[in-house]
Structure 1
Amino acid sequence: MTRDVCIVGAGAAGAGAAYALRNSKANVTILEKSNGVCGRAATRRKHGCCYDHGANYVKDPDHRTERLIRDLGEDGLVDIDDPIWTFDADGVISPGDSRDQHKWTWTEGITQLAKRLLDRSNATVERETRVAAIDHNPDTTYWSVVDAEGDRHGPYDDVILTPPAPQTASLLTEMGWGDHCMMALREAIGSVDYRTIRSVMLHYPFELDFPWYALVNTDKEHDVGWVAREECKDDHVPDGESLLVVQLSPEWSAAHYDDPLDEISDVVAAKVATLLDDDRLRDPDWVDGQRWRYALPDGVANREVIRRGEPDGLYFAGDWTIGEGRVHAALWSGIEVGERIVDT
């Protein structure tokens, strides 16, 4: 029997779900609020540079991710060789970190993950469609989705919700379906807090010489949480230039979330110059920025509760269903949900 499936969100989880449904008898529609795909695994281009300004790479903790990535095509695939080092609250940098496994991206940016998954699926992606609510018809058992313009999409046999937990919880309004179950779902999903992060990109017309690809603050006591060198990725930065992706700590990011980029860029550049002991870094020749209100989940939704809607065709996927703010976690949560739909 052919099923009509709606996936809300074209991030790693949504693309993973569509990929898992590729050989099934399912008509898959993805409703994506932005004009792009891959969500917080985002790529941007500016002044001849290509940079991943959200998630910086895809980890491979158990080799199944590498197998999938290679199956998607090895053209343009980049495995970042340079290591990740650490620093503490005092800015003391130390070699090595347990994160030095495969770090995958692509010459055209990390969004290639979702693009390649979707290219191999049969999904239709409707971009710039912000979902405002979902509804269930108790007479027909079908689902429908209402966008921010008031247009109704559907009917669907199954709906997969993949936005960050706070946004997903806001979609679960009263709709004449499983009132007791819906209350439990809202409570379980709404209980997942998120860390806010601001990314600031700093470009320099000269090369930096460091033995590491990135630095991570392990004690969570520094205003800078992460610094990565995009020039370590093939074809991301022209020769003779450097581009730092700086992610500020959740505390600093929340306190300065609404500050304009031109008001914080000098402050961020000064923090980086001090950390890296290089006064040249106080004066980037151009900057860019991104606010991530829901960057990383601080917890996990009760897995038993969030599966209670599945017999009626309501599914959830995303890093908050796993409790790990990583691209591979979101990806596999979506694939596993798609596989469960295939098996119904």
Structure 2
Amino acid sequence: MSSLCIVGAGAAGAGAAYALRDTAIDVTVLEKSRGVCGRAATRRKNGCRYDHGANYVKDPDDRTTELLYELGEDGLFDIDQPVWTFDGGGRISEGDGRDEHKFGWTEGLTQLAKRLLARTDAEVRNGTRVASIDREGERWSLTDTEGGGHGPFDALLLTPPAPQTAALLADTRWDDGRLPRLREAVGSVPYRTVRSYLLHYPFEIDRPWYALVNLDKEHDIGWLSREECKPGHVPDGESLLVVQMSPAWSTAHYDDPLEESVGVVGETVADLLDDSTLAEPDWYDDQGWRYAQPDRAVTDVVSEAESAGLFFAGDWVVGEGRVHAALWNGIEQGERVGEHLATSVL
């Protein structure tokens, strides 16, 4: 039986495992966190459930809708309220054309990876942070930060954000001229940094929209959404705003203590929504995403290593920082891995 190691259990990694569900390939997934789905993350606090990274799964071409329903309709919803826009001066305008589908789950976006992986025989090893990679003959072995060994494997698929993947390639022992080119190409992918704030209020915020997005990139807030629009996420009579600050603001204030920065964020939200009561939430939370979204795709250089069983997947491979983009790239790369291993056996 052929074997594959997938590093990362985000949408891309879970998609790749799902693509190989009906094959004889033995799949092992190494995931550094305790959960799955990467930046499509869900957290629970004070009776609320909220998606504090990616906000929903978009479907630009209907194939995502078909897949999500195949994974199970229980708890699946499509957000009804629209997305509106605002500019650098805080002027809010109706509609931005993003309303084809906005899928989520009552139990949170992590359901995407959970449901994909549940339909596979893949072994997921959580709490396993990869430290180095070795090429031994025709196979790949990995060592984690605790000194544990994994492998050898016939193929390796790396799915972390490009900067983290580049760091792994820097700790890869493989005497091959392709490695320096891979490190350079992957390491050159630029990323936007985003700091998310979660602001809770013990009252309802009555607005005709689900979310607001800043299109001219001139406001300190990049995205603001009402988590109570998602069934099962916020108790009746309460509100929870997901506020994702702009990349420029987030980079400048990434390490500011939460207790200090949340006041500024609250005032900025109150000003944008013209409601002074929003300046002081009764509780709050935050999450920094150092590598939130890629600004462009990696070059085709990454495909050069496929003949050696080394593959890459993620939103940075296609250059679109969306959950569906990572998902389908993972599925497509999983299929390529399957073709490679089938050919290798022959």
Asked if these proteins are the same fold (TM beyond 0.5), I'd say yes
- The residue identity in structure 1 corresponding to 2:235 is P
Which of 187, 197, 214 matches 2:211? Answer: 214
CA displacement, residues 9-55 of structure 1 (integer Å, 9 cap, x when unaligned): 00000000000011001111100000010000000000110100000
1:15 and 1:49 mapped to 2: Cα distance?
26
**2:271 corresponds to which letter in structure 1?**
T
Partner of 2:183: 186
- Partner Cα separation in structure 1 for residue 319 and residue 172 of structure 2: 28
Matching residue of 1:255: 252
1:157 counterpart residue number: 154
Cα offset, 1:151, TM superposition: 1.8
2:47 maps to: 48
Equivalent residue number for residue 313 of structure 1: 309
Q: 2:318 aligned with 1:322, yes or no?
A: yes
Per-residue CA deviation, residues 177-232 of structure 1 (Å, 9 max, x unaligned), is 35321111111111101111000000000001100000000000100000000000
1:124 aligns with 2:134: no
Report the CA distance shift for 1:4/1:42 in structure 2 as closer, same or farther (over 3 A): same
Match of 1:270 among 267, 272, 280: 267
Query: Cα RMSD between the aligned structures?
Result: 0.9
For this pair of structures, how many residues does the alignment match?
A: 340
Residues in 1 aligned to 2:254 and 2:104: alpha-carbon distance in whole angstroms: 28
Task: Name the CA shift for 1:307/1:92 in 2 (closer, same or farther; >3 Å).
Answer: same
Q: Supply the distance in 1 between the matched residues of 2:171 and 2:275 (Cα, whole angstroms).
A: 56
Structure 2 Cα separation of the partners of residues 76 and 208 of structure 1: 24
- Give the whole-Å Cα distance in 1 for the aligned partners of 2:63 and 2:133: 33
- Map Cα deviations across residues 141-165 of structure 1 (whole Å, 9 max, x no partner): 0100111122221010011000000
- Cα deviation, 1:68-87, whole Å, max 9, x if unaligned, reads 00000000001001000000
TM-score when normalising by structure 2? 0.97
Distance in 1, Cα, partners of 2:211 & 2:2: 45
Map 1:23-62 → 2, pairs under 5 A: 23-62=22-61
Amino acid at match of 1:159: L
Measure, in 1, the Cα distance between the counterparts of 2:105 and 2:115.
11
Moved over 2 A (4+): 173-179
Shift in Å, 1:176: 5.2
Are 1:205 and 1:240, in contact at CA under 8 Å, matched by a contact in 2?
yes
Percent of pairs with identical residues: 66
Instruction: Report the Cα distance in structure 1 between the residues aligned to 2:90 and 2:22, rounded to whole angstroms.
Output: 51
Q: Which runs of 5+ in 1 are unaligned?
A: none
Contact kept in structure 2, 1:134 and 1:173, CA below 8 Å? no
Q: Distance in 1 between matches of 2:96 and 2:131?
A: 42
Unmatched 5+ stretches in structure 2: 341-346
Q: Which amino acid aligns with 2:324?
A: H
CA distance in structure 1 between the partners assigned to 2:132 and 2:20 by the alignment: 24
